[in-house]
Amino acid sequence: MRIFKSKWFVKFALKQNISNTALRQAIEDIEAGNIDADLGGGVIKQRIARPGKGKSSGYRTIILYKQSDKAFFVYGFAKNDQDNISQQEEKDLKDLAKEIFALSEDKLAELIKTRVYREVYDEQE
């Protein structure tokens, strides 16, 4: 399973002190069937705990997910900042998921090289 984060999500994760380990744990939870909300079309909303706190007071992340293949963290928010995503945002995310999962490996490599997406490794960036 390859895990990525968008350029926007990189900034969000750094600001909120969300570690790569926490992102990997969220994907492990999904792979184990522990999904907070499957919005369909490859879009999942998954909670991530704030450092030193629980998931309920943590962050909501939007992940474009293809089982046993790739996952892209593309958006995140704190529950106290935003209740949920809008119907239009959900539709846009489903469209984005179709585009992302249709990318060739060469195109994905180009997007990584230009830092549109970064691969998530164990160490924190």
pLDDT single digits (tens) 82-95:
778 889 999 999 99
Pairing of the two strands 2-6 and 70-78: parallel
pLDDT at 125 over 80: no
Specify the amino acid at residue 5. Answer: K
SS3 72: strand
Mean pLDDT of 33-62: 86
Torsion angles phi and psi, residue 38, rounded to 5: -95, 110
Per-residue exposure over 64-95, b if at least 16 CB sit within 10 Å of its own CB, e if not: bbeeeebbbbbbbbeeeeeeebeeeebeebee
User: CA nearest 101: which of 45, 63, 75?
Assistant: 63
pLDDT value, residue 27 = 95
Quick one: DSSP state of residue 50? P
- Give the pLDDT band (50/70/90) at residue 114: very high
pLDDT tens, residue by residue, 62-82: 999 999 899 999 999 987 777
Mean pLDDT of 20-46: 94
pLDDT value, residue 82 = 77
Both ends of the chain: CA-CA distance in Å?
19
